[in-house]
Chains A and B, each alone.
Chain A
């Protein structure tokens, strides 16, 4: 399928071994602020990386740097081992990177097939039609090829935009919040279809999002950005379960922090013994422990000093907020059937087997502090 576009087999091998995207020290600032500050980031061939961060953190700028819509002030950008920004400059039309925008950005004056064929101008004319049919099939829209964009639903427009980006077989596709303009009930399906289509072509992808659930479920790896800096990159479970710092911990999910103490490899805090900390045998330090609501267990206990303060019904789960004797609060997910009344005294413990993250200051600890 890719043979029609790849000029030589050599290109194909190089693309397969070199990272699809490599940023080294990439920086871009605007008059008002530094949008991206010295970012290093690799996306392997065929890998799907999700980029998340609060609005204004520079994630869209990073994507525009990769596409060639912005020129970095410093640092280099490589695509498939070829430098495209840094000591030389390759404009966007010569980079052959696929791009899908939040507003889909279809050409309103062209029908669906012509939209999809727009990037195929270097393909021999006879091969264009079959390729258009192929990618439209891939996104399940073969039946709308003669329509114009305004005749399509938002979800269909999104899929056409994806087909258009994938048609020239780019080794990298960039998606800028591609699902946020879609209805909530449509989003999950379109997201799954999109990912399947990208996987089917073998392109690497960078998906920019500000939706935590999307970020955790979508990609092979996840990069969290703040203030123009990549705070952490890793597998979604890694980022969620062992965040590098307080910002990543709170940004990726609900988290409560309690002062804690490690002595002879035993972690204790206000709610009692939390866990053992192997390798910390010689330590006697004060730290903070991060507890996610699913790690906190509750049991009604009349003699306890902790009291349920708020109950939030979420359908499958019920979120309980408990005020401890010290005045601090922790949150706990309880199964659908469990409804402790506000005011109930409860015993708070940590779910057995949890390995909560420890912090010193704003940084997560991976080893005992010196």
Chain B
């Protein structure tokens, strides 16, 4: 289509949606928001109604550990993510283009996979310590690998890409004028970075750090390799140890408090500055060409990080998988097919549900309905920021409430799914967590459909249903495809929610990897782990093609 001359289009009119609204569709938005908010509400209400939190012993230590881990990982990812973003955005050096993409790939290696590869390499029996002992003698002693430090290193290496991506996007959106002005006023590149670029990129850094800390709060699997007991680990152990909803809810509400604090901190750190504009107006900075030692150092630094966080771990997984396959064909193991089927089925159902919810939200918003409907649609996206332990325990608390209700109505067994867990719970938790990325992708597609096109279809006699089927869906299909992909990948990677909610005997690929790795069957864990990494590379490749899709998360 030809694009009207910008001066002639008055944006006020074009952005205005159909304010009339449709009661049925608006109601669907509220229902979706209520379902997605229900686990969090269940935890918050549960904690309040218990009249005092029932906290197990050692909770003080857990809180301190959580604080320490979050702060350390936040510091590490800030330095690594911002530094690398600065290197690739403001400088030119050999291999910069390829490296700037390779540096995103660690997103595809879940922490619970990098974690066991790291342990196997650096633990007492691993090649590094064995090598050191053979050189320095047996009296070296054990290095403290299974520690807070070890967990920090693994989490920083898997999570820094969030900061890297967002800061890089902010830097490439900047108009070069401010930086150039600082340079012509005599500031060194480093000083111009510190005084001009960093403040301008601060909102993005804040958003990236919020994502990182939420991931840290969500994790209770990886940190257990390292004997680090965060509050989330506490939630998991209390639940699996006693199946006591009240205690689990109490601990989960602490995690929720942490999450709220993180969001508040993000607001504060972001300050008055707003999020960077997608697409951006600036054409980015003029890159400074590094030469000689500086160029070698820059290439080396980027390559080292990419190798440590992606290249070497994947290489090690491939070696293990190959040696395991040499002993026995892994595909004859029926568990492989079983667990793969479980993963794919649950992921596919979750993806379909999330996409349907997202399409309903976007379509209902396009039909109008006013500020409350918009607020409800916005509320559905907060699920992504809620740590897994909170979502999981929230789902369990809901089920326990349903049990009590059924018992009160005379059915003694209740739903019977509380202790045994259920796939339904996993699905609900997935919808709560993953509607946000799905909605963002679908919404981005809807945003490209001019409101006038929707209005034209309506005045031509198409009701909301036909408008959806004939106009909105065909035009938003790329967003739907992206949303399906994102949710399937997130669901296949997901570990904590499945660990917490799975029914007895239900094992996904991620759980299988975790179980094998926990028992040091590293060679056998390698093939399913590689499969997960392979699946997870897909959205990273999407990110590379269309940076906007993932940044917004």
Across the interface, B1 reaches (CB within 8 A) one of A97, A150, A176, namely A150
Across the interface, B2 reaches (CB within 8 A) one of A56, A67, A153, A176, namely A153
Q: Is A93 an interface residue (CB 8 A)?
A: yes
Residues 1-55 of B contacting A (Cβ, < 8 Å): 1-2, 4-5, 8-10, 12-14, 16, 18-20, 22
Kindly report which residue of chain A lies nearest to residue B477, judged by CB atoms. Answer: A109
Q: How far is the CB of B392 from chain A (nearest CB, A)?
A: 40
Residues 171-186 of B contacting A (Cβ, < 8 Å): none
* Contact flag A71-B452 (CB < 8 Å), given A91-B458, A108-B1, A109-B474: no
Q: Is B99 an interface residue (CB 8 A)?
A: no
Q: Is A304 an interface residue (CB 8 A)?
A: no
Across the interface, B459 reaches (CB within 8 A) one of A93, A109, A181, namely A93
Across the interface, B475 reaches (CB within 8 A) one of A98, A109, A164, A165, namely A109
Interface residues on B, range: 20 to 34
Kindly report which residue of chain A lies nearest to residue B448, judged by CB atoms. Answer: A108
Q: How far is the CB of B404 from chain A (nearest CB, A)?
A: 44
Cβ contact within 8 Å between A181 and B5: yes
Q: Is B462 an interface residue (CB 8 A)?
A: yes
- Report chain B residues within 8 Å CB of A202: none
Type the 1/0 row for A153-170, where 1 means its CB is closer than 8 Å to any CB of B.
110010001001100100
Cβ contact within 8 Å between A181 and B20: no
Cβ contact within 8 Å between B4 and A102: yes
Q: Is A121 an interface residue (CB 8 A)?
A: yes
- Report chain B residues within 8 Å CB of A68: 20, 458-459
Interface of chain A, main secondary structure = loop
Cβ contact within 8 Å between A105 and B450: yes
Q: Considering the chains assembled together, what is the distance between the CA atoms of A153 and B1 in angstroms?
A: 8
Q: Considering the chains assembled together, what is the distance between the CA atoms of A102 and B458 in angstroms?
A: 17
Kindly report which residue of chain A lies nearest to residue B7, judged by CB atoms. Answer: A180
Q: How far is the CB of B478 from chain A (nearest CB, A)?
A: 11
Q: Is B453 an interface residue (CB 8 A)?
A: yes
Q: How far is the CB of B180 from chain A (nearest CB, A)?
A: 37
- Report chain B residues within 8 Å CB of A153: 2
Kindly report which residue of chain B lies nearest to residue A92, judged by CB atoms. Answer: B458
Kindly report which residue of chain B lies nearest to residue A156, judged by CB atoms. Answer: B2
Cβ contact within 8 Å between A102 and B462: no
Q: Is A119 an interface residue (CB 8 A)?
A: yes
Q: Is A55 an interface residue (CB 8 A)?
A: yes
Across the interface, B461 reaches (CB within 8 A) one of A71, A93, A176, namely A93
- Report chain B residues within 8 Å CB of A181: 2, 4-5, 8-9
Q: Considering the chains assembled together, what is the distance between the CA atoms of A91 and B474 in angstroms?
A: 23
- Report chain A residues within 8 Å CB of B463: 91, 93
Q: How far is the CB of B301 from chain A (nearest CB, A)?
A: 46
Across the interface, A69 reaches (CB within 8 A) one of B22, B450, B458, namely B458
- Report chain A residues within 8 Å CB of B450: 103, 105
**A91-B463, A92-B18, A103-B4 are known contacts; what are 5 more A-B pairs with Cβ within 8 Å?**
A99-B455, A102-B8, A157-B1, A181-B2, A181-B5
The 3 closest A-B pairs by CB, nearest first: A119-B460, A181-B4, A105-B452
The residues of A with any CB-CB pair to B shorter than 8 Å are 55-56, 60, 64, 67-71, 91-99, 101-109, 118-119, 121-122, 149-150, 153-154, 157, 161, 164-165, 168, 176, 180-181
